[in-house]
Amino acid sequence: MGKARGRHRGGREGLATTFVWSAAVLVTATFCWLLGDILWHGLSHLSWTFLTAPPRNAGREGGIGPILVSTALILGVCLGVAVPLGVGTAVLLAEFTTDASLFGRLTRRSLDVLSGVPSIVFGLFGNVFFCKTLGLGFSILSGGLTLACMVLPILIRSTEEGFRAVPAGYRLSAAALGLSRTTTLFHLLLPAAVPGLLVGLVLGVGRAIAETAALIFTSGYVDRMPESLLDSGRSLSIHIFDLSMNVSGGDTNAYASALVLVVVLLAINRTASWLAEHWLHRRIVTV
Amino acid sequence: MNQCHALFMLKKYAALVALSMAALISVPASAGAQAGTVDQLTGRLVITGASTLAPLIAEIGKRFESLYPTVRIDVQSGGSSRGVADARQGLADIGMVSRAMKEDERDLSAFPVARDGVCPILHQENPVQALTDEQIVAIYTGKISNWKLVGGTDAPITVVNKADGRSTLEVFLQYFKLKNVDVKAQVVIGDNEQGVKTVAGNRNAIGYVSIGTAEYDAAHGIPIKLLPIGGVAASTESVRNGVFPLSRPLHLVTRTAPSGLTNAFIEYAQSKAVHDLINQQYFVPLAH
Amino acid sequence: MTSSTNNTLSRWPTDRLLLWLLRGAAAIAGAIVLLIVAFLVMEALPVLRHVGVARFFTDPSWHPAEGFYNLTPMLWGTMFAMVGSVLIATPLGILSAVFCHYYAPPAIARPYRRLIELLAGIPSVVYGFWGLVVLVPLIGAIHPPGPSLLAGIVILSIMILPTIALMADASLANVPPQYLRGAAALGLPRWATLRGIVFPAAKSGLFTGVILETGRAVGETMAILMVCGNVVQTPHSLFDPMRTLTANIALEMAYALGDHRAALFVSGLVLVGMIAALVAAADWISHGRIYG
């Protein structure tokens, strides 16, 4: 009987292993196909001039210099607004509300609903609210604020998960030591919850940098070097969209721009994880 | 230690707030009035509307900016309807409309800047070389659904139509005297390039796009070919000569008679100085 | 979980300030949804008044030029695409995370995770472009016309996979190591540990991941626009072209005026309503036990 059970268990384990490895291989293969396509078509057109020169002939020639600057500014505004709001809300939901509280449940549910609003609706909303009602017009600021709205649910939910994962022992020890909740938060809990914050940040940055529909109506189409946050400036994803769908013959530069975007994203993610590990190791020793 | 940390956070966000404040203050300085004399042009123009026109007007805008360095021309897309609506509400100085003006748009001042033709496209390897108007109507209404009935291979036809409201669609329907409810399409596309890529990826597809787009792509190796209409070959040349039957005007519109910077820009866009830009974007400049 | 009542920890003035700042942040975050819904309702009101809600589900077709506003075929399109993609992406994503943590040698796990993080940031237009140029002709060769529900499901699955994979990855990382040591001590093999101990421990993170990915699947616009064919019809097979509500808004908003435009906002409201219903259902199913 023991032998039969052992064989059965071994079979199930083997099946599980096969499934897991197949999933990984399938995912890797699909993504390599996609990334390989971008690399294949885009690599030959990359150059330092491409990264710094302004676009000419509707983007078919020239480079993407001003567009990179606009994208960086939009991302900066988005994160500058979303991170404090998001982390604040996550902290409130995780630390200062009980699971049964109505406020907590309502906020969580409304954030879930927010995560499902289509990107184009965000664009239209941003256009009416930020551009017209708040009078910001087509600007990097409007675009960044609209993106912040889009990125908030992801950031909040995963930061909240990060806080939930911190063992209760940390909080109890802090209470035993008589630390204020502010100190506990900044010195103990936040560093320990950083992995969750990091995932939220990576997903959020990914979503923000990939967004097209929302930005067309808010930060606009202009491909000039922006002079202030109130200038209109197109993001890299809008440039890729315009080149591939609106401008005939823009495909080659679209691929090159997509490649630049992938590399920029890689750099942002590496920096974020490096920062997290650095902060984590200095502040806390995990048991 | 706690205070240091808090102060650092405060400094970071104070910097951001200060930057935003500075940005906000800098706007009234630059946005200002579209001031007076032609040789002292300054100010900012906001132009919104059709995405077909946006690349062209953006290029014209760049050249205009190089002539008058204190001017800023901001071009946004969003569609012909947005161009009309924004011009009417004063949210944009100029609207871009990629079609003939409608009856209820007579209150706006319209200035044509270029022409664009519309032609059917097939995959390069499709043996069919030409289709009569009746055949095209039959294909698009679903009465002919196999290529062998019009001299091609034995394969089902994939009909590619444009989305409701697009001006290319309206031009097409008007010429062939069809209504959109009668069209039986297998694929509906938005932008011209999407149409080109759809047909290029399907040997049995038929679609219609702007001649400029199709001509450029065909010349650059995309496997499509342009079909003649009524015996007239489809090319920007035949649109320029006025012999090609399917074409649409591209307009800049304003709410009232334009003045100052707006007027200067519209005149520039209609002048001979930008004909090379119009050709470069594969549209047809208007002879004045 | 430490309770938030005041008399458990010492009262410091900074704590009060912190609490109010946090409440302010949460209020802003929560208010955004209300603002968006209010905006949608305001824009949709004209057509709801003229035409009434029922006609959005009973008209013969979607042809706003003729005054027909039936949303049902597109609603089916959205639902099929969402269900199909979530069904594919969830197991693949969770298994990917499991792979990273429990099955892969460390030298493979790190690059694999980087790969998935990268995929979270690729613009939907790039996915759409790739889909249009590579995937659609491939499907077209099997069964014309090519742009179809299947293409939409495949592209959507690829797009939402990073969300569930990374959330699952984070929640698997948060499983307390004592649980795993306990399982090892009991002699449980790998898959049994996963099934019996890790997944239940990580369930709140997995649940959040599924909600977020479903939201993304419902809200995706650009890529779907390029690969699904955009024909307004209820798809009867995987190879039928179809149009989702989001693609509809994107396609027609640029050129819509008056009642047509308001009707598009009605479809936006329907989408938000759908997500709200899904979230409520998930809440009800879990009976709040997920966060226990």
User: Domain of A22?
Assistant: 2-43
CA of B180 to nearest chain C CA: how many angstroms apart? 8
Report pLDDT for C69: 87
Q: Are A73 and C235 in contact (CB under 8 A)?
A: no
Mean pLDDT, residues A216-238 taken together: 89
Q: Give tens-digit pLDDT for A192-206.
A: 888 888 888 888 888
Q: How confident is the model at residue B107 (pLDDT cuts 50, 70, 90)?
A: confident
Asked if A234 and A128 sit in the same domain, the reply is: yes
| Length in residues, chain C | 292
Asked if A57 and A24 sit in the same domain, the reply is: no
Q: What is the DSSP string of C210-256?
A: HHHHHHHHHH--HHHHHHSB---S---STTS-B--HHHHHHHHHTT-
Asked if A249 and A191 sit in the same domain, the reply is: yes
Which CATH number fits the domain that encloses residue A253?
1.10.3720.10
Backbone angles phi, psi at A162, to 5 degrees: -60, -40
Backbone angles phi, psi at A198, to 5 degrees: -65, -45
CA of A106 to nearest chain B CA: how many angstroms apart? 29
What's the rounded Cα separation, in Å, for the pair C184 and B284?
Answer: 75
Nearest to residue C245, comparing CAs of C69, C34, C65? C69
Count: domains in chain A:
2
Q: Which residues pair with C63 in a beta bridge?
A: C68
Q: Is the pLDDT of residue C151 over 90?
A: yes
Report pLDDT for B81: 81
Q: Is the pLDDT of residue A7 over 70?
A: no
Burial of residue A207, with CB atoms counted within 10 A of its CB: 0-12 exposed, 13-18 middle, 19 or more buried:
buried
Nearest to residue A180, comparing CAs of C182, B124, C8, C139? C8
Between strands B94-97 and B247-254, the pairing is antiparallel
Nearest to residue B95, comparing CAs of B210, B245, B255? B255
Q: Are C152 and C244 in contact (CB under 8 A)?
A: yes
Q: Is the pLDDT of residue C292 over 70?
A: no
Identify the helix (H) or strand (E) that includes residue C108: helix C106-119
DSSP 3-state of B115:
strand
Q: Are B196 and B91 in contact (CB under 8 A)?
A: no
Q: Is the pLDDT of residue B155 over 60?
A: yes
Chain B contact partners (≥3 CB pairs within 8 A): A, C
Mutation for A interface: B66, B74, B91, most A CBs within 10 A:
B74
Is there a contact between A269 and C118 if contact means CB atoms under 8 Å apart? yes
Q: Which residues pair with B49 in a beta bridge?
A: B77, B96
Asked if A279 and A149 sit in the same domain, the reply is: yes
Asked if A93 and A16 sit in the same domain, the reply is: no
What's the rounded Cα separation, in Å, for the pair C181 and C193?
Answer: 10
Q: Are C254 and A216 in contact (CB under 8 A)?
A: no
What's the rounded Cα separation, in Å, for the pair B201 and B122?
Answer: 11
Between strands B284-285 and B109-123, the pairing is antiparallel
Asked if A96 and A147 sit in the same domain, the reply is: yes
Residue A186, both tokens: 């900044």
> Which residue type is seen at B216?
Y
Asked if A186 and A119 sit in the same domain, the reply is: yes
Share the mean pLDDT of chain B: 83
Report pLDDT for A6: 53
Mutation for B interface: C129, C243, C255, most B CBs within 10 A:
C255
Mean pLDDT, residues C261-275 taken together: 89
Burial of residue B129, with CB atoms counted within 10 A of its CB: 0-12 exposed, 13-18 middle, 19 or more buried:
exposed
Q: Give tens-digit pLDDT for C206-250.
A: 888 898 889 889 988 889 998 998 999 999 999 999 999 999 988
CB atoms within 10 A of CB A283: 14
CA of C12 to nearest chain B CA: how many angstroms apart? 13
Q: Are C210 and C164 in contact (CB under 8 A)?
A: yes
Report pLDDT for B103: 85
Q: How confident is the model at residue C123 (pLDDT cuts 50, 70, 90)?
A: confident
Report pLDDT for B25: 43
Q: Give tens-digit pLDDT for B52-90.
A: 888 899 999 999 999 998 999 999 988 888 888 889 888
Mutation for B interface: A246, A255, A282, most B CBs within 10 A:
A246
Which residues of chain A lie closer than 8 angstroms to B46, CB-CB?
A: 137-138
Report pLDDT for C114: 86
Report pLDDT for A250: 84
CB atoms within 10 A of CB A153: 30
Residues 174-193 of A with CB under 8 A from B: 182-183, 186-187
List all residues 6 or more positions away from C147 whose beta carbon is below 8 Å from its beta carbon.
B186, B187, B198, C132, C136, C140, C227, C228, C229, C230, C241
CB pairs under 8 A between B and C: 90
Instruction: Indicate the residue of C64, C137, C261 with minimum beta-carbon distance to B201.
Output: C137
Q: Are C222 and C248 in contact (CB under 8 A)?
A: no
Mean pLDDT, residues C139-159 taken together: 90
Residue B285, both tokens: 């400049």
Which residues of chain B lie closer than 8 angstroms to C66, CB-CB?
A: 181
Instruction: Indicate the residue of A92, A213, A270 with minimum beta-carbon distance to C221.
Output: A213
List all residues 6 or more positions away from C250 whose beta carbon is below 8 Å from its beta carbon.
A120, A213, B190, C221, C222, C225
Report pLDDT for B34: 42
E strand segments, B50-102: 71-77, 94-97
What's the rounded Cα separation, in Å, for the pair A75 and A53?
Answer: 21
Burial of residue C177, with CB atoms counted within 10 A of its CB: 0-12 exposed, 13-18 middle, 19 or more buried:
exposed
DSSP 3-state of B241:
coil
Residue B156, both tokens: 């089902």
CB atoms within 10 A of CB C118: 19
**CA distances (Å), B222 to each of A119, B217, C135, in order?**
31, 5, 17
Q: Give tens-digit pLDDT for A243-285.
A: 888 888 888 888 999 999 888 888 888 888 887 777 666 555 4
CA of C274 to nearest chain A CA: how many angstroms apart? 9
Nearest to residue A63, comparing CAs of A277, A208, A252, A190? A252
Q: Give tens-digit pLDDT for B178-228.
A: 888 888 899 998 888 889 999 998 889 999 998 988 988 888 889 999 999
Q: Is the pLDDT of residue B28 over 70?
A: no
pTM for the predicted model, two decimal places: 0.86
Nearest to residue C193, comparing CAs of C107, C98, C285? C98
Share the mean pLDDT of chain C: 86
Q: How confident is the model at residue B10 (pLDDT cuts 50, 70, 90)?
A: low
Q: Are B66 and B287 in contact (CB under 8 A)?
A: no
Asked if A28 and A86 sit in the same domain, the reply is: no
Q: Give tens-digit pLDDT for A134-147.
A: 888 889 999 999 99
Report pLDDT for C290: 54
List the single residue in B with minimal CA-CA distance to A182. Answer: B2
Longest pairwise C-alpha distance within chain A: 78
- Predicted-complex ipTM score: 0.82
Q: Are A244 and C125 in contact (CB under 8 A)?
A: yes
Q: How confident is the model at residue B30 (pLDDT cuts 50, 70, 90)?
A: very low
Domains and CATH numbers, chain C: 76-258 (1.10.3720.10)
Report pLDDT for B31: 39
Rounded to 10°, the helix A65-91/A190-210 angle is 140
Interface residue A80 vs chain B (CB under 8 A)? yes
Report pLDDT for A184: 87
**CA distances (Å), A35 to each of A43, C91, C145, in order?**
11, 22, 26
DSSP 3-state of B257:
coil
Report the percent of chain C where pLDDT is more than 90: 28
Asked if A129 and A213 sit in the same domain, the reply is: yes
DSSP for residue B283: -
Q: Is the pLDDT of residue C256 over 70?
A: yes
Q: Is the pLDDT of residue B288 over 70?
A: no
Nearest to residue A151, comparing CAs of A87, A99, A243? A87
List all residues 6 or more positions away from A265 whose beta carbon is below 8 Å from its beta carbon.
A205, A206, A209, C117, C118, C121, C122
Q: Give tens-digit pLDDT for A50-104.
A: 888 888 888 888 889 999 999 999 999 999 999 999 999 998 888 888 777 888 8
Q: Give tens-digit pLDDT for A175-198.
A: 899 888 888 888 888 888 888 888
Burial of residue B38, with CB atoms counted within 10 A of its CB: 0-12 exposed, 13-18 middle, 19 or more buried:
exposed
Which residues of chain C lie closer than 8 angstroms to B166, CB-CB?
A: 255
Residue A93, both tokens: 């939901």
CA of A88 to nearest chain C CA: how many angstroms apart? 5
Q: According to the per-residue pLDDT averaged within each range, which of A6-15, A74-83, B279-288, C252-261 is highest? A: A74-83
Cα–Cα–Cα angle for B98, B104, B109, nearest 5°? Answer: 60
Asked if A58 and A18 sit in the same domain, the reply is: no
Asked if A28 and A149 sit in the same domain, the reply is: no
Q: Is the pLDDT of residue C149 over 70?
A: yes
Mutation for A interface: C23, C78, C199, C208, most A CBs within 10 A:
C208
Report pLDDT for A2: 46
> Which residue type is seen at C20?
W
Asked if A27 and A58 sit in the same domain, the reply is: no
